[in-house]
Structure 1
Amino acid sequence: MDLVKIGKYISEKRKNLGLTQKQLAEKIGMSDKSVSKWERGICLPDVSLYFDLCSILGISINEFLAGEDIVHENIEKKSEENIISVVTDSKRKQKSLKYIICALLILSILTTAVIATSLYRAYRPMNYITPMAGNSVEMQTVNLIAGPDGVNAYQFTTTDKFARLKIYYSEYHKGKLLSKEPVEIGFEGMDSPKNGGIIIVPDYDHAIIKLVVWTDDGSKSSVDLPLMEGVAGREYYIRSQSRIEGKPEIIYDFEDVLLGLAYDKDEITVPNLLDLLLGKTDAYSENEYIYLFSYEFCKK
């Protein structure tokens, strides 16, 4: 995100309302020094202030994060760009922090072999995928953008090369598998990314699930998948989900689970993701609809 651009936008909207920095600060319970820092692009407000600040300035969350007014026709595109920007900004910040830490450790290596051993252990080759923490500033922000159904965001790190990444989208009705479709991103003839992410945004109101895959080289693939399309009485369904936790190791050429979304009119049995992947679905025969997302990093 462009902090300077956002700061200028806050300043412009404040001045259009005839407010001083002090008056704006008083309305949101902050100091005018804080407002000054935002407008100079030094930092962003705390995510807990976004709603109040946007309400006072008469702008949307997406316009705030974009640092500009957005015409209605571009809202969906800008929303997706903002989600990607927030998630990837977090990754870049983490990289910058790692570089700083690494530089400090290298200086210490000259005087102690113990630190050298610790550095090796900290940076040894790893292949894993992990969900972004729900209480992180980045996830709080993208959830504000995405709306009531929220966002499931995952980051992966790989040190081994792979040829393609497959995201499988499986639909179950009353415990029976109706369809299973792969979304495939290929990297043949190029270096596969070492870092990237998978973002899944269920949009229940519009009967779609937005799937976005991004990589650290700046590439992005996005597709809209159907969600209970054409089902009568969808507004009365209740919802639940289960997802991977921790930092599972990526096993190449092996399909593994990522996220399960369940929908039913009455009661929901929260799905065990591995049960679904292995075809053990009898326990979910009462669930009207289940959508399973799984992934596979393919060497060939």
Structure 2
Amino acid sequence: MLNENIKNLRKAKGLSQEELAIKLHVVRQTLSKWENGLSVPDSVMLISLADALDVSVNELLSETATKPDSDDIKTISEKLEVVNLQLAKRSMARIKTIRWLLILLCLFIVAIFIILIKINGSYLNWNYNDPELAVAGTIIHAFEFLFVRIAPIVFLASVIGIVLTYRKS
């Protein structure tokens, strides 16, 4: 029902998919998926969509009938339950993605520290009269200098982020 309502209301307003997509700051393909019932907009986007189509969210989610009865209310509540379940699943997927990105960032930082320990400043003994070695050595030294100062802060922030993402789930 939501997909048909989006399509009908968009056409009634005389908007193309592209025009409505621009108003909503999404790509046309997203709007097409909504109209074909392949996906549904999240709650924030539902509000924006209703505003863009000059209707209430209830009208957007309801059937085309104008007077509500108990069956319509039940249908709407079931639809809202499905939408909320989909939103919860998306939210959990985002949290898991963020958690794994933070874990990978921590592993990357540890790996770089191990590499820097293995190098043990050997670039400092290079012949800096050779311009290419001088440039490479300077770049490595600058990287190490900044990394050793910034990485612990980023690592700690990542660990805190990982802990917080486990708390929310």
- The normalised TM-score by structure 1 is 0.27
Query: Which of structures 1 and 2 has the larger relative contact order (alpha carbons within 8 angstroms, sep 6+)?
Result: 2
Higher helix share: 2
- The normalised TM-score by structure 2 is 0.42
